[in-house]
Structure 1
Amino acid sequence: MGDMLANIAVNAASDYYNLETKMQNLKRKLELLNCQEADVVARLGEEECLPGKRRKHVVQYWLSEVVSKQKEFESLEADVNQNRRAWRVSLAKRADKMFEEVTILTDQGAFSEGVVLAVSETIKEKFVTAEWKGQGFKEKFHGVWTYLLGNEVSIIGIYGMGGVGKTTLAQCIYNELKNENLFYGNIFWFTVSQDLNIYKLQNDIGKALNLDLSDEDDEHKRAAKLGWALERRKKFVLILDDVWNSFPYQKIGISPSHAEYEFKMIVISRSLEVCLKMECQECLKVDILSDEEAWELFMNKHSNGKELPPKVKEIAREVVKECAGLPLAIVTMAGSLRGVVDIREWRDALEELKESCVGQDDMENKVFPILLWSFNRLRDPILKSCFLYCSLYPEDFRINRYELIQNFISEEMMERRTSRQAYFDQGHKILNKLVNVCLLETWGGEHVKMHDLIRDMALKITKDKWMVKAGLQLKEIPKEQEWKEDLDKVSLMRNNINNIWSVASPKCPKLSTLLLNFFPLKSIPDSFFLHMRGLHVLNLSNTLIEYLPNSISGLEELNALLLGGCQRLKFVPPLENLKALKELDLSYTGIKEIPRGVESLTNLKCLDTIRSCIRKIPTGILQGLSLQRLSLPTRMRIPIDEVAGLKQLEEFYGKFHSMHDFNIFIKSRPSDGKLNFFHILVGKDIIYEKKLFFQRFEVKRVTFGKDSLKKGKRGKDEIMLPRNVDFLMFDRCGLCSCLFDDIQGLNSATELKTCSVYEEGIVCILRMSLEMEQPMVEEEQQSSLMPLYYLEDLNLQKLPNFIGLIRWEVAPAVAPLPRGLFSHLRKLLVVQCGKIKKLLPRSLVQNLHNLNELIVGSCAKLEEIIGDEESDGGFSAESNTVITLPRLKILDLRDLPELEIIYKGTIICDSIKKIHMERITKVRKVPFSLPPLAVTAMKEDEGGWWDSLEWEQPSANRVL
């Protein structure tokens, strides 16, 4: 007993005297948590701009817990600062408890699946591959598939010469694994490339596993963390594409001989030797095509299998023979000759091809003349130059279309246009042509990519005038002798170069483009640019540079100065001499003031300062400019008169602190033009606004923040929405009843696709009242509710007074729903809506023929998902009929304690893929008529609840 009392006394004394130390430790731990929160919110902001990407509920819960802990710490710190001795022991215990809780949140933030960077799997990433599949391809596919499903082989090698179709085969396997939902969906694809970089590969794998490795530099510790994260997956497939050199799997956290999980590995290489060194247990060679397979592939790509005239067909077969069975050559040739009908042109193509291939006996070398021939057939010099520009990026790099077209504009490579929208339209047209002739590949819709053999061909064309060493992990800048006087473009992007002092002053008077972005460059000698007076584009973005040399001021022909992401940058020299400058990017920098001389840059079209440290733009800076794109920091008080005066503005990103200023800006837009791209915040308080990521690409978003729509001294401001807005968010902005009643101007948002509402006062989206009794012409009704006809994504969260999408103030028979309402809706999410009892009226369901996802969670009083319409007068109808949801894939129901009925009748839904019911114990019937073996159902079984469920098919629960 005495020992126990002594221990208690010792612990109390420790708490008393160590309170300050504990608070310091807690503060450091909380700072780490805040950094994680910032990373999560930034990534979510980026992902949520993409179609089908929305945060999971668990992400929102984690973020709310972080905010709660921040407030709790402030309260604790205030109590500690009062310095009352009697409280010290209890305060120390509070600090200990909070330290444990913050540690748990930090661990979740760093490692937990489904928390950090979790986005819903609305759209599973898949590769766009050739629809044509020959017999040899099918045999190889079957061979790999058999090994994947079997237990004897874990590591499979796919090898063959460049351009033979190895990656296409693996992409089809990847897609099929995703389709079949095998390995719990844990299918990961990584491109390794010729210059193996273990550090980058570790980062790529970590990112795919939602594992942050940024705070760890030791290669072995990083590998251990990867191993831990992979082990938690239990079952997974890793596909490593374009492997040129072998490396130990232990470096990415895998020990094949001692793995305690089920995994499969596919290694894709040009070399059988590499596959064997990578411990592949089975190696499959992808061979060139037979004559008939080659012809079939050519015809499929050239004319979708349609017959050619007999004489043309004879020449076309000779053309295909010159491709020697190599799929890349065949596809590229077919693309180049697509649409050619004149037999004389076919004969000329064959003659050119034969001449270019003379003396090329080696199969892999033979493809280069064919690719070069396809390049030469472009004819248009603009197409050629834009194609070659893509080779400035690293091998296997996915190039964002928006960024690429922006570079085309900066380089003045395209035909002159009067607006940015016209330039982007022209840029997309160019990229589409290059994709159509198979010189570029489409990647995920928003990106393009060069096949490495095609890139090699492009680099051969430009080798005398360009120096391209992008993504080679160089630690030193190229030697002085490599900087030739007639160089036109130099790309050193994405290397590990810290400084460039070893090359003091390269003599490159003709150099027009210098890309030094994405590497840890810290400083540049003042003499470096002395002999680069012809420079048009200088890209130093995402480096560690702090000061730009004064010699920048002498680059009088510079069109674009790109410094975005240079967070340590504090100083930019005066720019008044750069009269040709059209683009200045200072976003995400440490710059505190607009550089001197910007007001005199009359040719400036783009000024980006978002997330910089600039707090004020001096009066008069903007009014003399003809800006087409402008982004401003959210903390800045926008000079509304000057911004409203920018009549040529086509892109705007920033925050208006009042609805009044926002309306002035919208009204200032010329009647004959509109903002093409924008991301605008309105209001003084927006959740996570300090960390909000502004998507740099083609978005049209408006967010209304706290109290921004409330009635002020001047009365309630009219809401002027851009007609082309496609994403609206209402965040505690002061709405108090019905969304369409409160926002009178909402019917003007005719292109609205996504609407998110976080609003305490909202009761419903649409009100069906006595006014609806009067007959209305259908066209008028549709016009007044236009956004609800074309809305695709509706997110309703934290709405304590919300009772339903539709509120009937009269019987539904008196005021029936307009035909086609919500007919384009693809996703409906309803979370934390405490009053709602019935989610969807049955008459509305017949309009939901495009609904893909229905997600409902934490609605304490919800009783029915699909129910009868009801009015205040008690109107009710029978509900035992069959309804159809032809495109519904995901039904996700969680934390609905009062839910008893999904639907009283039967729901026919052949498309359903996933039913998730969690913490739902009163439901007794699942009303879906399901396709056989089509559903993955996740269940939480409480007291035999699962077995007690009634299904339309009696054996469904056992099958699932």
Structure 2
Amino acid sequence: MELLGTVVEMGKAICAPLQSLKENEDILDKRIDELSCRESDVRAYLEREKVQYGKMPKREVELWLKNVQIIKDKVHDIKQKLGEVSWTHIQLRMNLAKEVEEKIKEAVELKENGRFQEGLVVDLLVGSTETFPPIKIVGETTALKNLQKIEECLMDDEVGKIGVHGMGGVGKTTLMTHIHNKFKNAGTFNCVIWVTVSKESDLEELQGRLSKALGITDFSNYKDALCKSAKLFEAFNRRGKFLLILDDMWSTFPLTKVGVLEPNQENKCKIVWTTRSKKVCRGMGSERIIEVAGLAEDESWTLFKEKLGTDFVLSPEIEPIAKAVVEECDGLPLGIITVGAAMRGVDDIRIWRNALEDLKNSRPDLEGLEDDVFSCLRFSFDHLKTQIHRDCFLYCALYPEDDQIECNSLIEKWMADGFFYEIEDREKGFDKGYTVINDLKDACMLEKGELGDFNRSFVRMHDLLRDLAIAITRKSHQFVVKVRSNVGKFPRDENLMDDVIRVSLMHGSVEMLSCQSKCPKLSTLLLEGSRLGNIDHLFFEHMQNLRVLDLSHARFTCLPQSLSNLVNLNALLLRNCWDLTEVPSLVQLRELRVLDLTGAAIEYLPDGMDSLTNLKCLGLSFTRRLEMVPVGAISSLSHLEELSMVGSKWKWSSNEDRNGWGAGVEDIVRLMHLKKLLVNFVDLSAFSSYVRSRHWRCLNCFLLIVGGVFLDPEDIQDVLYSRECQVNVSDSDCMNSVAFPKSNLTQLRINLLYNLSTIYMEEPTQGDNLANLKRIVISVCPTLKYVLSIGWFQTLQNLEEIYVSHCKAMEEMVVDMGDMSEANNNIPITLPRLKRLALSALPNLKSICKRTLICSSLEEIDVQYCPMLKMLPFSINSLPSSLKQIKGSRRWWDSLEWDNANTKMHLQPFFSDYPKFCYESDEDQDFSYCPDYGFQLEEDQERQHLQFSERPEFSFQRREEDQEGQGTKRKADSIS
């Protein structure tokens, strides 16, 4: 009996792994699914970091991903063997059972190792992903010859330093742009690095630009030029074989002093510099020097006719005169382009004869510009439409060379300086400004900037045209432009300053404005981005004509009392002066139209605010120390058109809640001319109080926020310069319903409202519709029963995106509150612009919409953990023609029911299996509370849009950094 008992025990021990094999198989499936979720999230994060920020995965992350794939492959093999091996092969099945147990442990350990507390990415080798916008090469024969010469040098191991020279506007930068784009991914070099040097660059500026191009994040910590040089040298050395392009050099410098690695036959690195001076090429030790000459005669004529207009035909009498005009341009592409643009549409022979005479006679008496270059460009300047166009063009020279000039900011200054004095309405003023900018671009006097998105655009000046503008203004002694310079102090020569009307010391080294300066005609003073830390109390005493004062990004803590005497000031721009705590009385500044205190450290509004009856724009966003807005301080600004207070410590509540202490919602409602409003409310009660006032109906732009929403100054600028009307409500207790705007709305975001059961309770009445709504984002509203009724849903003619997540009580996304007859259910709903539909963690959702949807623009459907959703609202006759992808779990897809078998057949090619979430089981999942897993704002090259992403265990944190008063920036920098 004892022996028998021993045998039984041994049998149990042997069979135990087999008995638990089925259970362990299920556990292994779950652990692999969990690991796959982690892998999917990691890959999605890596892809975004690569596309948006140019970063690459750490090697440990790559190794982890490799190991994940290995274990998944091994598990696949084990399961395949288990399916093939008979149950009678006990020993083999026992071995497989042990392998299953081992793989469970490995999967758990691998999942834990995938947390990467120190981050997943590092900076890519700079230049490897950056592509410049292609620029059309003019004069193909000449240009191709020059390109070929440069490429031959780059492929020659004996040539390391190449100089490309030619007069300004001849096309050197265009050639190098093509070289950059061709070689960046060709594999010839590890990386291609582009740095624009410019005339105004000194050693410190050049080192700074190189560090930025190389992605050195801690470069500002190094104060000594020698230390900076060592850091740069180390960065270049790490990149191995590189191509460095230094565009627009004006003087020589020792490479080693700057920190640039010397090219040689061993490292095979290359440096190409472009310059107007052959002397610079020689001084830099160029081993090959290539001259970029002007266009040939036939190329010049072809380009000129192109700029006149392809459908414009020159008469036989005018054509020889036009050819003589082209000869005066001497093959210079920029000159031909600008003169051609100036003569576009002219068919009067007398005007052509006069144009030729002007070109022959407009020889320069200004230094720094070649005769032929100046003649062409001066002619183009003189032939601009109006004096306003010429003044606006010259104004752009106040900005640094190669600067990306933000159009809205530029127009703001034009208006404040009186360029459009006849226009009182701000919106009409901006329309006029954009018209002028487009005219200048059409005349080829301004270029489209490389930055820009849907709401904001940028322009830049060709450096040669900027030289022209500075030369013209220098002759008249009206401009002083010393940007990015070590000027040290404000110019004081009274003989020079008497006639000066505009001064720009942007991004310069002026640390103190001492003593009073007599500038009786000065109207614009730009000190944005300077190191200014102190201003003498009498400095503004004799600047009574000043209209535009821009001190943005400066470091001072207070402003002098003499500022109060600037009675003609129209714009006071103190944006991102993070240390500014005191502003003197504004009681005399009755002409002030724009006051921007965004980011200031003020605790109270400046004295005299109620006197600013002409103020139209008030910026108080991110005033994080602002304790109070007094009653009447805002409502007294009777002509106010724009109020921005997002991120301010002062949040708006109803007047009753304030008990007379400070301004409330009613003060905003009294602003009858307001057109743009960006504010935070204390709670939903205050928000609802404002919504019920219906004041928002008069606005063409608003951002109304309740709860903790993270935004940065760039987000605010995007909204402010758009016609977006957004509501963002988060993390707040509420009753079962909230009052929301019933028209104008373009984006609705609702998050963490635990008691919300309905959004729009009543059906729309006359005048109520959501025709402008483009985006709906709803997450973590566990008692929300549905998104909208059919009545509201039918008004969504411009809706582009819907995202709904973690709403446990939701059974239908769209409900029919009226007649439920079968006849009505057969009436389809058309959403012509809907592109994305994302549904996640809706465990009880049974229906998106019982009616058929017609969505001709739908591109993507994403369904994650909606186990009860058995039908998609499409019929065989209404399938989305633009569909690109349907994402979801295989189990969900296979469980769907169809009105027609052909419907699934047509949609099947678009389906892609999405790994199921990391839940132990569907039944175990509790959605009574769930954190906001991240509807994350992401940006593409054209505009901002919302992209849905589920993050079960990852938290992408925003970090606000205050770097010497440069403001906050949003960065996804950690995964926990």
Residue 261 of structure 1, CA deviation:
7.4
- Partner in structure 1 of residue 728 of structure 2: 704
Equivalent in 741, 751, 763 of residue 788 of structure 2: 741
- Partner in structure 2 of residue 170 of structure 1: 176
Residues 524 and 848 (structure 1 numbering): CA distance in 2 closer, same or farther, change over 3 Å? Answer: farther
- Partner in structure 2 of residue 871 of structure 1: 897
Secondary structure of the residue aligned to 1:239 is: strand
- Amino acid in structure 1 at the alignment position of 2:511: N
- Amino acid in structure 2 at the alignment position of 1:619: V
Residue 751 of structure 1, CA deviation:
5.2
- Partner in structure 1 of residue 530 of structure 2: 519
Q: Does the CA-based 8 Å contact 1:529-1:551 persist in structure 2?
A: yes
Residue 667 of structure 1, CA deviation:
6.1
Equivalent in 679, 699, 706 of residue 674 of structure 1: 699
- Partner in structure 2 of residue 34 of structure 1: none
Q: Does the CA-based 8 Å contact 1:593-1:616 persist in structure 2?
A: yes
1:143-292 equivalent positions in 2, closer than 5 A: 143-148=149-154, 153-177=159-183, 187-212=192-217, 213-227=219-233, 229=235, 237-250=243-256, 253-257=259-263, 264-292=270-298
* Structure 1: runs of 5 or more not aligned: 1-43, 63-100, 886-890, 899-960
TM-score by length of 1: 0.69
Residues 775 and 643 (structure 1 numbering): CA distance in 2 closer, same or farther, change over 3 Å? Answer: same
Q: Does the CA-based 8 Å contact 1:809-1:871 persist in structure 2?
A: no
CA distance in structure 2 between the aligned counterparts of 1:523 and 1:670, rounded to whole angstroms: 42
CA distance in structure 2 between the aligned counterparts of 1:587 and 1:543, rounded to whole angstroms: 13
CA distance in structure 1 between the aligned counterparts of 2:875 and 2:289, rounded to whole angstroms: 58
Asked if 1:548 is matched to 2:559, the reply is yes
Asked if 1:624 is matched to 2:601, the reply is no
CA distance in structure 2 between the aligned counterparts of 1:228 and 1:840, rounded to whole angstroms: 57
- Partner in structure 2 of residue 818 of structure 1: 854
Equivalent in 661, 665, 674 of residue 640 of structure 1: 665
1:384-463 equivalent positions in 2, closer than 5 A: 384-414=390-420, 416-444=422-450, 445=452, 446-463=457-474
CA distance in structure 1 between the aligned counterparts of 2:707 and 2:167, rounded to whole angstroms: 59
- Partner in structure 2 of residue 695 of structure 1: 717
CA distance in structure 1 between the aligned counterparts of 2:822 and 2:53, rounded to whole angstroms: 38
Q: Does the CA-based 8 Å contact 1:842-1:868 persist in structure 2?
A: no
Residues 347 and 143 (structure 1 numbering): CA distance in 2 closer, same or farther, change over 3 Å? Answer: same
Residues 393 and 880 (structure 1 numbering): CA distance in 2 closer, same or farther, change over 3 Å? Answer: closer
Secondary structure of the residue aligned to 2:590 is: coil
- Amino acid in structure 1 at the alignment position of 2:216: L
How many residues in Structure 1 have an aligned counterpart in Structure 2?
766
CA distance in structure 1 between the aligned counterparts of 2:57 and 2:601, rounded to whole angstroms: 34
CA distance in structure 1 between the aligned counterparts of 2:292 and 2:812, rounded to whole angstroms: 57
Equivalent in 300, 306, 309 of residue 303 of structure 1: 309
Residue 481 of structure 1, CA deviation:
4.4
Asked if 1:685 is matched to 2:708, the reply is yes
CA distance in structure 2 between the aligned counterparts of 1:839 and 1:395, rounded to whole angstroms: 59
**Which has the higher mean CA deviation after the structures are superposed, 162-171 or 329-338?**
162-171
Secondary structure of the residue aligned to 1:682 is: strand
CA deviation map 1:729-748 (0-9, x unaligned)? 74746276688538986776
CA deviation map 1:925-959 (0-9, x unaligned)? xxxxxxxxxxxxxxxxxxxxxxxxxxxxxxxxxxx
Secondary structure of the residue aligned to 2:512 is: coil
Residues 673 and 586 (structure 1 numbering): CA distance in 2 closer, same or farther, change over 3 Å? Answer: same
- Partner in structure 1 of residue 511 of structure 2: 498
- Amino acid in structure 2 at the alignment position of 1:618: P
- Partner in structure 2 of residue 321 of structure 1: 327
Secondary structure of the residue aligned to 1:288 is: coil
- Partner in structure 1 of residue 490 of structure 2: 477
Q: Percent identity, aligned pairs only?
A: 30
Equivalent in 601, 617, 634 of residue 606 of structure 1: 617
Residue 659 of structure 1, CA deviation:
4.3
CA distance in structure 1 between the aligned counterparts of 2:334 and 2:145, rounded to whole angstroms: 19
Secondary structure of the residue aligned to 1:214 is: helix
Secondary structure of the residue aligned to 1:367 is: helix
Residue 862 of structure 1, CA deviation:
3.3
Secondary structure of the residue aligned to 1:704 is: strand
**Which has the higher mean CA deviation after the structures are superposed, 641-650 or 537-546?**
641-650
Q: Does the CA-based 8 Å contact 1:467-1:489 persist in structure 2?
A: yes
Secondary structure of the residue aligned to 1:695 is: helix
CA distance in structure 2 between the aligned counterparts of 1:422 and 1:306, rounded to whole angstroms: 33
- Amino acid in structure 1 at the alignment position of 2:708: D
Residues 334 and 222 (structure 1 numbering): CA distance in 2 closer, same or farther, change over 3 Å? Answer: same
CA deviation map 1:423-444 (0-9, x unaligned)? 2111111000001001111112
Residue 458 of structure 1, CA deviation:
1.3
- Partner in structure 2 of residue 377 of structure 1: 383
CA deviation map 1:624-678 (0-9, x unaligned)? 21211111142322222112222322222232344454455456566985324x4
Residue 186 of structure 1, CA deviation:
5.0
- Partner in structure 2 of residue 588 of structure 1: 599
Equivalent in 762, 781, 791 of residue 829 of structure 2: 781
Residues 872 and 332 (structure 1 numbering): CA distance in 2 closer, same or farther, change over 3 Å? Answer: closer
Q: Does the CA-based 8 Å contact 1:357-1:370 persist in structure 2?
A: no
- Amino acid in structure 1 at the alignment position of 2:412: Q
- Amino acid in structure 1 at the alignment position of 2:628: K
Secondary structure of the residue aligned to 2:244 is: strand
Residue 565 of structure 1, CA deviation:
1.4
Q: Does the CA-based 8 Å contact 2:669-2:695 persist in structure 1?
A: no
Residue 216 of structure 1, CA deviation:
3.1
Residue 569 of structure 1, CA deviation:
1.0
Q: Does the CA-based 8 Å contact 2:522-2:546 persist in structure 1?
A: yes
* Structure 2: runs of 5 or more not aligned: 1-44, 62-112, 653-663, 748-772, 920-976
CA deviation map 1:678-729 (0-9, x unaligned)? 4x2522223x458995335624263524345x7x337343454634557757
TM-score by length of 2: 0.68
Higher relative CO (CA 8 A, sep ≥ 6), structure 1 or 2? 2
CA deviation map 1:390-419 (0-9, x unaligned)? 011122222111111111122121253343
Q: Does the CA-based 8 Å contact 1:838-1:864 persist in structure 2?
A: no
CA distance in structure 1 between the aligned counterparts of 2:842 and 2:675, rounded to whole angstroms: 39
Q: Does the CA-based 8 Å contact 2:533-2:554 persist in structure 1?
A: yes
Q: Does the CA-based 8 Å contact 1:378-1:384 persist in structure 2?
A: yes
CA distance in structure 1 between the aligned counterparts of 2:670 and 2:729, rounded to whole angstroms: 25
Equivalent in 646, 662, 676 of residue 651 of structure 1: 676
Secondary structure of the residue aligned to 2:123 is: coil
CA deviation map 1:131-175 (0-9, x unaligned)? 644210122223334555665655443211111111122223334
Q: Does the CA-based 8 Å contact 2:197-2:249 persist in structure 1?
A: yes
**Which has the higher mean CA deviation after the structures are superposed, 662-671 or 535-544?**
662-671
- Amino acid in structure 2 at the alignment position of 1:704: N
- Partner in structure 2 of residue 136 of structure 1: 142
Bigger radius of gyration among the two: 2
Q: Does the CA-based 8 Å contact 2:813-2:847 persist in structure 1?
A: yes
CA distance in structure 2 between the aligned counterparts of 1:154 and 1:834, rounded to whole angstroms: 61
Residue 879 of structure 1, CA deviation:
3.8
CA deviation map 1:167-201 (0-9, x unaligned)? 122223334456x6767995443211112234333
Residues 755 and 819 (structure 1 numbering): CA distance in 2 closer, same or farther, change over 3 Å? Answer: closer
CA deviation map 1:781-813 (0-9, x unaligned)? 22xx35xx155x77x69x444899x95677xxx
1:749-898 equivalent positions in 2, closer than 5 A: 774=823, 781-782=829-830, 785=831, 789=833, 791=835, 799-801=840-842, 816-822=852-858, 847=880, 849=882, 862-863=889-890, 870-871=896-897, 879=905
- Partner in structure 1 of residue 123 of structure 2: 113
Asked if 1:572 is matched to 2:583, the reply is yes
Secondary structure of the residue aligned to 1:316 is: helix
Secondary structure of the residue aligned to 1:256 is: coil
Secondary structure of the residue aligned to 2:431 is: helix
CA distance in structure 1 between the aligned counterparts of 2:601 and 2:491, rounded to whole angstroms: 29
- Amino acid in structure 2 at the alignment position of 1:216: Y
Q: Does the CA-based 8 Å contact 1:666-1:722 persist in structure 2?
A: no
